[in-house]
Structure 1
């Protein structure tokens, strides 16, 4: 491919409509990437701290390559919507099966993590390793890859529905992943530092899992309702955290002292 061929792909950005489409699609891809970041934070949080940054970079890099790979095989992706078989009066496609499997995996993963965090007491071996239920690097990456397939499919189908030019779609995906790379570390550290945020993140993944199962069964639910509910819960929890911080060091009020002259006048001889 010559330099002229490369430049011809970017001629689409000469129009204001293209830039507006790129900005809208990038913003939407970032929002859809919240699922990725939350799952990534919880999964890498069980690794030793020295391995967490590498795992986040590997996970998001794989997400980028999967999204770009699916974009460049867009004909195959759209073919995933073709019906394969009918069960319980619902025609299932390959996309439905992927979403259904991913949703069930998220439900099982979130439920297990919540049970482990709230009900299981850490053993001496876990404490020596630095935490409860430390996982291996390979197992963490495998889980990230499984969910990357599901989230990437959702992301690419959304991109195709909003833009028709491959240059705009691929640029939006790259920009969204760069933003996720910049903020994934800070979000992950914040979630792992606060137990209440970890439970909130697991609740979010439970909702996303239920949403994916519903999508796989042909029931469309607007993700905006899920994001609004979680944003509201996050805002309430941030306020509670602020109040708990203030209560940890309450202001000490001093007793009112009478003037020294008044005490002398009222004193008994």
Structure 2
């Protein structure tokens, strides 16, 4: 308790907390996009429940990982070497998560471009395994993003209470934003394709990071922000044309 009181009186601790919260929220955007796309494929009455369960389990997973920081830090130790690069467990988790994202995004893009090929399979499986499969896939990506998030937090501050508060605040923001984001994506079909493109880019970035090629996150998020801005302008243009067309009739 005394340590916490000392942290509350330390300005550098507050700066570290604010910085870490911002970092965790930004890193959570990737996870939130994936959760929104995945839960929108469920029946409407199950979507909110799936989002809450997925994000709630993400919080429990991250808090659990924070309790094993000593083990998490060891994940960055190389376990074997190939192609001149020492691969750690963190690298292998990032590569596996990246490959899953690329596979999932490619599959969803194919489904959006030619939905008839997948319609029968989707109808047959969604009633029995749709909800459980969605939660399972959310948990799988939660694990990848959680490991990356916790290692980032460890690199920014040595104080566990700061990490816990930052993680709780970031996941709370995700929980509040998940519903509006999912509904926005559902109302704007072109956003789905843009978001799937984001997932492809994020998956490729994870693979590159795992293979030892550092990709500055600022470049990735700048590209995503620019693409989102262009899409917003396109949406405003389409709505203006629709209003003008409606006024003519």
Common fold, TM-score beyond 0.5? yes
Range that drifts further, 157-166 or 9-18? 9-18
Aligned ranges for residues 13-162 of structure 1 at < 5 Å?
13-121=8-116, 136-162=130-156
Aligned position for 2:234: 240
Question: How many residues were matched structurally?
Answer: 246
Q: Please state whether the residue corresponding to 2:116 is helix, strand or coil.
A: coil
Q: Is the 8 A contact 1:10 1:167 kept in 2?
A: no
Q: TM-score, normalised by structure 1?
A: 0.86
Q: Which moved more, 1:205-214 or 1:57-66?
A: 57-66
- For 1:123 and 1:227, how far apart are their aligned partners in 2? 32
SS of 1:51's partner is helix
| 1:176 aligned partner | 170
Alpha carbons 1:47, 1:137 under 8 Å: kept? yes
**C-alpha root-mean-square deviation of aligned residues, in Å?**
2.1
Distance 1:133 1:217 in 2: 35
Bigger Cα Rg: 1
Unaligned 5+ runs, structure 1: 254-269
- The answer to whether the 8 A contact 1:25-1:169 is kept is yes
CA–CA distance in structure 1, aligned partners of residues 88 and 186 of structure 2: 37
Distance in 2 between residues matched to 1:72 and 1:141, nearest whole Å: 23
Bigger helix share: 2
Report what 2:189 is aligned to: 195
3-state SS of 2:86 partner: strand
